[in-house]
Amino acid sequence: MGARHDVQRFLHRGARITLEKARLAVFGGERRLPGRRREEVAQIAGVSTACYTRMERGDLSGVSESVLLALVRALQLDEAGTVHLFDLAKRQPAPSVRLGPFR
């Protein structure tokens, strides 16, 4: 199992916060699956849904420490969870830089 899979498992397992506790409106009606939706976790963390979706899919490459800390607060991770999340982020390869076509 790779680092991406570990991140996916960790974030899918994760959040302890309820929408009521975060004082957020519930998106939609009844849920097919229990737990928070991506949009809700992103809103709690103060990041875009696209950013959180990328992280939830296992890509923490290039994610700043401030975004990781926002995710820690949003998911209300304990110290062990925080350390694990940061360790997972360190295992990600550095983002590739795309320079575009040379002329």
Tokens describing residue 76 = 């209300």
Q: Note the pLDDT of residue 65.
A: 93
- The domain locations on the chain are 3-25+35-90
In sequence order, what DSSP letters do the residues of 78-98 get, joined into one string?
A: -HHHHHHHHHHHHTSPPPPPP
CB neighbours of residue 11 within 10 Å: 21
Residue 28 DSSP code = S
Architecture of the domain delimited by 3-25+35-90: Orthogonal Bundle (1.10)
Distance CA 30, CA 47 (A): 25
Residue 1: the pLDDT is: 60
List pLDDT tens digits, range 35-78.
677 888 888 889 999 999 999 888 988 899 999 999 998 888 88
Decide: pTM greater than 0.95.
no
Cα gap 80→83, rounded to integer Å: 5
